[in-house]
């Protein structure tokens, strides 16, 4: 990262010319091919379906496309600080995601596809409807008390994953894609607006607290989030962290279904997640990573309020009368998702390394209640085995090239249709498939 006249001029325009400002970023783009993958959206270049969501369905076959952020999501940003004296500083971060192949902001979820002009899922970028600073926009203070930042930012699970995953929670890793692994329902909602993050250190222990305001009239809990992270070094080479989070009236999206409309089907639910992660520098060349997370989804705290929400960042929500089962989560029994992983990074020399990891994702059996259809929908328990490996070669301190491969195995438990007697597989048309993906890319940091 380096200071530039462009960065200084930009912040001066915002009235912060005296701040110490840094322009930084990552440009990471490549090409990938999968033997059984869902199509990338034709209107969103480089939106490769690295790990197709269990909520997605469609024809599978060989897919070859450009990738954006396989090892590290592409982004640019401005960060700055001003010394206020007495050890205190004022700080800010403005960070935007980049879709390099399209030259635009990532536009996850709110995509016009060739499928009758409907909105469909994106494949891993972290914004909705092309938000300008879709990765972070915060301002805060730091000093002897620690630091506090307010605005739009990652929750604590999202913050921790990159340090405890061998593949750095880039999109090659399932921990870097959407699907609830930040305790949320999608990558967009892995970041929270109206949020505060406090962190401080006590010796070798770091403590972080997170709270997001819901903003619901007469109900402070609706849409709120709360989290706590404790991170410490048990030995000079062994680090561990424990993260617990609670989200009220969280949302996840699916494609709209109204004829001629560009809208979202939204499900609301409460989510509670607990994770334990660690990394161990076993030898000077070998570092080992491991983790476990459990996420429990249940009915929302304030379904009546949720039903009054009509749009998300300018994208209309499909009315629940047009599509039953949405707007208010219909959980008869809770849905539990767990993911366990074990990985390693081995340095071949100072400029090259091998990264490898295994992930086991499981989703519990559960039922939903579609009152309009008059029948409960039964979903079977499913699990997913994911193997990922990458070779990374530095060309300089700021530029590297890499190749990678993954094997993603969906089990085939469950029936083909939801009913009162035959469980539906949560993998939809992906049930029973083995998806082999390989790719290569170039990453430049500045």
What pLDDT score was predicted for residue 61?
79
Q: How confident is the model at residue 121 (pLDDT cuts 50, 70, 90)?
A: very low
Q: What is the model's pTM?
A: 0.85
pLDDT above 70: residue 18: no
Lowest mean per-residue pLDDT among 48-52, 192-196, 437-441: 48-52
Q: pLDDT tens digit string along 237-260?
A: 999 999 999 988 877 766 555 544
Angle at 34 between CA 30 and CA 35, to 5 degrees: 155
Counting every residue, how long is the chain? 446
CATH architecture for segment(s) 5-445: Beta Barrel (2.40)
What are 438's strand-pairing partners? 33, 405
Q: How confident is the model at residue 83 (pLDDT cuts 50, 70, 90)?
A: very high
Contact 300, 248 (CB under 8 A): yes
Pairwise CA distance, residues 228 & 91, whole Å:
22
Q: pLDDT tens digit string along 208-239?
A: 999 999 877 767 777 789 999 999 999 999 99
What pLDDT score was predicted for residue 57?
54
Mean pLDDT, residues 116-144 taken together: 68
Contact 354, 378 (CB under 8 A): no
pLDDT above 50: residue 119: no
Q: Which of 112-121, 394-403, 417-426 has the highest mean pLDDT?
A: 394-403
Q: What percent of the chain clears pLDDT 70, i.e. is strictly above it?
A: 70
Q: How confident is the model at residue 113 (pLDDT cuts 50, 70, 90)?
A: very low
What pLDDT score was predicted for residue 289?
98
What pLDDT score was predicted for residue 256?
56
Asked whether the CA dihedral 118, 121, 123, 127 is positive or negative, the reply is positive
Q: Compare 40 and 397 and report the one with higher pLDDT.
A: 397
Pairwise CA distance, residues 444 & 30, whole Å:
12
Contact 428, 54 (CB under 8 A): yes
What pLDDT score was predicted for residue 324?
43
316: tokens are: 């209309």
pLDDT above 60: residue 312: yes
Cβ neighbours, 10 Å, residue 147: 16
What pLDDT score was predicted for residue 185?
46
417: tokens are: 């249709």
Q: pLDDT tens digit string along 21-32?
A: 999 999 999 999
Contact 445, 69 (CB under 8 A): no
Residue 190's Cβ-count burial label (10 Å; 0-12, 13-18, 19+) is buried
Quick one: which of 164, 32, 140 has its CA closest to 79? Answer: 140
Q: Compare 263 and 328 and report the one with higher pLDDT.
A: 263
pLDDT above 70: residue 195: yes
What pLDDT score was predicted for residue 345?
98
Contact 259, 323 (CB under 8 A): no
148: tokens are: 């506090």
What pLDDT score was predicted for residue 122?
43
Mean pLDDT, residues 133-151 taken together: 94
What are the residue ranges spanned by the domains of the chain? 5-445
What pLDDT score was predicted for residue 416?
47
Q: What's the chain look like in SS3? A: CECCHHHHHHHHHCCCCCCEEEEEEEEEEEEEEEEEECCCCCCCCCCCCCCCCCCCCCCCEEEEEEEECCCCCCEEEEEEEEEEECCEEEEEEEEEECECCCCECCCCCCEECCCCCCEECCCCCCCCCCCCCCCEEEEEEEECCEEEEEEEEECHHHHHHHHHCCCCCCCCCHHHCCCCCCCCCCCHHHEEEEEEEEEEEECCEEEEEEEECCCECCECCCCCEEEEEEEEEEECCEEEEEEEEEEEEEEEEEECCCCCCCCEEEEEEEEEEEEEEEEEECCCCEEEEEEEEEEEEECCCCHHHHCCCCEECCEEECCCCCCCCCCCCCECCCEEEEEEEEEEEEEEECCEEEEEEEEEEEECCEEEEECCCCEEEEECCEEEEEEEEEEEEECCCCEEEEEEEEEEEECCCCECCCCCCCCECCCHHHCCCEEEEEEEEEEEEC
Q: Compare 414 and 321 and report the one with higher pLDDT.
A: 414
Pairwise CA distance, residues 412 & 427, whole Å:
8
Contact 429, 418 (CB under 8 A): no
What pLDDT score was predicted for residue 374?
53
pLDDT above 50: residue 194: yes
What pLDDT score was predicted for residue 353?
98
Q: pLDDT tens digit string along 367-376?
A: 876 555 556 6
Tell me the Ramachandran region of residue 123: left when phi exceeds 0, alpha when psi lies from -120 to 50, beta otherwise. Answer: alpha
Cβ neighbours, 10 Å, residue 202: 10
What pLDDT score was predicted for residue 262?
59
Mean pLDDT, residues 164-173 taken together: 91
């Amino acid at each position: 990262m380096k200071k530039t006249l462009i960065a200084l001029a930009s912040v001066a325009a915002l009235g912060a010319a005296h701040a110490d400002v840094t322009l930084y970023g990552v440009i990471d783009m490549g090409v990938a091919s999968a033997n059984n993958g869902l199509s990338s959206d034709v209107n969103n270049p480089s939106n490769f379906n690295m790990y197709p969501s269990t909520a997605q369905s469609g024809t599978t076959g060989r897919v070859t496309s450009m990738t954006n952020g396989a090892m590290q999501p592409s982004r640019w940003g401005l960060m700055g600080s001003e010394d206020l004296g007495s050890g205190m500083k004022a700080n800010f971060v403005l960070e935007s995601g980049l879709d390099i192949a399209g030259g635009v902001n990532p536009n996850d979820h709110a995509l016009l596809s060739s499928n009758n002009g409907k909105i469909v899922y994106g494949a891993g970028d972290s914004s909705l409807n092309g938000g300008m600073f879709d990765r972070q926009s915060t301002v805060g203070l730091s000093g002897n008390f620690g630091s506090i930042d307010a605005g739009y930012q990652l929750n604590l699970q999202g913050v921790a994953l990159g340090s405890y995953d061998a593949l750095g929670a880039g999109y090659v890793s399932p921990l870097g894609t959407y699907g609830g692994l930040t305790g949320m329902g999608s990558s967009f909602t892995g970041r929270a607006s109206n949020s505060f993050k406090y962190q401080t250190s006590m010796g070798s222990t770091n403590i972080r607290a997170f709270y997001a305001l819901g903003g619901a009239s007469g109900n402070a809990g609706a849409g709120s989030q709360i989290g706590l992270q404790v991170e410490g070094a048990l030995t000079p080479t062994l680090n561990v962290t424990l993260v617990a989070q609670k989200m009220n009236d969280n949302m996840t999206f699916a494609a709209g279904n109204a004829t001629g409309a560009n809208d979202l089907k939204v499900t609301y639910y409460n989510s509670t997640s607990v994770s334990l992660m660690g990394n161990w520098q076993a030898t000077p060349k070998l570092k080992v990573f491991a983790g476990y997370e459990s996420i429990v989804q249940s009915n929302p705290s304030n379904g009546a309020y949720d039903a009054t929400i009509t749009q998300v960042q300018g994208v209309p929500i499909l009315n629940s009368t047009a599509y039953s089962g949405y707007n208010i989560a219909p959980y008869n029994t809770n849905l539990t998702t767990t993911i366990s992983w074990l990985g390693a990074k081995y340095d071949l020399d100072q400029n090259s390394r091998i990264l490898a990891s295994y992930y086991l994702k499981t989703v519990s059996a559960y039922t939903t209640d579609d009152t309009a259809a008059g029948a409960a929908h039964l979903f079977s328990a499913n699990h997913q085995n994911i193997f990922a490996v990458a070779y990374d070669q530095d060309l300089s301190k700021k530029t590297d090239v890499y190749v990678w491969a993954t094997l993603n195995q969906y089990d085939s438990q469950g029936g083909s249709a939801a009913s009162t007697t035959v469980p539906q597989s949560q993998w939809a048309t992906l049930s029973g498939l083995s998806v082999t993906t390989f790719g290569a890319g170039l990453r430049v940091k500045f």
